[in-house]
Chain A
Amino acid sequence: MPSVVDPEATKPFLRWGFHTYGPFRMDSALCSGGPFCPTGGIRVSFTTPVRGSEVQRRIQLLPAVPFTIPDTTDESPTWYLETTLTPNTGYAVVADTAMRDVFGQRLTGNPASGLRTTGFAPLVEYEYGRLTVERNGFRTLAVKYVNVDTLVVETATVPITLESKVLQYNRWDRDDSTMARVMARAVKRKVAVTGARDKVRIFGVKLQPASAGRAGATTLQVVRVTSPRLDSAYRANMPLAIVQVTDLWPSRAHRAHRWGRVGDGNCGREAEGRGNRRLV
């Protein structure tokens, strides 16, 4: 078609592309959600659009699992089956051959497609930001992990000269040079951990008590925990826990509402904290 209809027909032609539909087949059935898909759902693709009600009525999963679809009145070549599958299990998506697409074509080709769910993605999680840990309790930082066999624990003490800057640290700050200076002094150790596949376990990272009684001693330490099983982007963005190991007791004066002065053993310095154990 000419881009401009002029008497001399000198203007260039326009070419607009389109596709016509072909036979109706099941194209694929994939566990949806990226490289790790432990519980579904399932993305089923056809070569032509199908009405949602037809998918709901004519598709079944083996082993049998109920599923729903977002809109039975919609028409689409791709459908997301909302369901909860079992990790590390094989499933078949089977279509009834009486199934028809929006053009009235019957399903041809293989009416079934197989898929397998994966285990859960490796995960390492812990509280981060400014934390206090009781000196007389377990004195640990709890690290939750799944499907990893090694934890890499980095611990760095914060020099007194950097304490104020570290306490102002926000992981969304553009300037993280202070933390880079602190973490350059970090002690790194690998810890072998155990646990059944796809089960959440907790490991307590033992923290060193601060010796504030010593002149010039530091009371803050920065902890980061990763694992070689995590992908590199995840590892690079693991958050930092800024921890103070300290004694906590209710203040007599403010017993009802707040934890009082946060002492530090022999107490060279003092800071105030409120609410629960997190200093905000």
Chain B
Amino acid sequence: MGEATPTAQITVTFDRPVAGSLDRTVDAGSIFRTEPNIEGKLEWRDPVTLRLVPAKPLKPGSSYKVTVADRFEAMDGSRLAQPFEFSFAVSGPAAIGGLPVSAEEHPRFLGSQATFDVVFSSELEVSNPRNLAYLEFDKVCQTAGVVRLKITGQRTINDKDPWQYREAGGWDRNRAADPLRRVVTFAPERCAAL
């Protein structure tokens, strides 16, 4: 099963022309189907490529099955031996930044009241958020072992956020997916004596 981003477009490429001209085309809607259904614009991008541009981002963490029916002829009169099917999954929310801790930020003086903001690439919908993240303290700490983190909030990124949030994902990220990003705030379930 392939993996796609939430902003992905779905394309099917044939090995020979199918829709060669306006008077000799194949109705895309009659041969292309997704399960579950994806709303969007389905079109022939060129004579060999069928493209579905989703009307809204695909749901992170979900799976889709695409079927191309065998009820049509290519321009040379050939047909598919059988319906063509493939599946893909939309990648779930990825942790792409955060404060005060992240892949780049390693603070030296965190206090017991600290909370942790993590920027995810898309909205976080987890059935059991309690098990998502935890703090693991070294043996030398007063609170050695694991302290679970609970989610206390989730919001979009705004202009007043620090640059680490606004630029989360890197300069070469797909900026079309920026509106999907979320800042999720985690707090320790119990006070960690530091």
Contacts and interface: CB of A to CB of B under 8 A. Distances in A.
Interface string B101-118: 111011111111000001
A5 B109 contact: no
Give the most central of B109, B126, B133: most A CB within 10 Å.
B109
A103 B111 CA distance: 8
Interface in A220-278: none
Interface string A54-92: 000000000000000000000001000000000000000
Interface stretch (A12-20, A183-191, A208-216): A12-20
Contact of B106 (A4, A7, A18, A77): A18
Contacts of A49: 109
A49 B152 CA distance: 28
A16 B92 CA distance: 20
A17 B111 contact: no
B47 interface: no
Nearest to A102: B109
Contacts of B34: none
A180 interface: no
Interface in A1-53: 1-7, 11, 14-21, 48-49
A76 to B, nearest CB: 10
B120 interface: yes
Interface residues of B, number: 31
Contacts of A2: 95, 132
B116 to A, nearest CB: 9
> Which 8 pairs of residues, A with B, have the shortest CB-CB distance?
A1-B133, A20-B194, A6-B92, A21-B109, A5-B92, A4-B94, A19-B108, A16-B101
28 contacts: A1-B118, A1-B133, A2-B95, A2-B132, A3-B94, A4-B94, A5-B93, A6-B89, A6-B91, A7-B61, A14-B103, A16-B103, A17-B101, A17-B106, A18-B100, A18-B101, A18-B106, A18-B107, A19-B107, A19-B109, A19-B110, A20-B109, A20-B110, A20-B141, A21-B108, A21-B109, A48-B109, A77-B108
Interface of B: 61, 89, 91-95, 98, 100-103, 105-112, 118, 120, 124, 126, 132-134, 136, 141, 192, 194
Interface of A: 1-7, 11, 14-21, 48-49, 77, 103
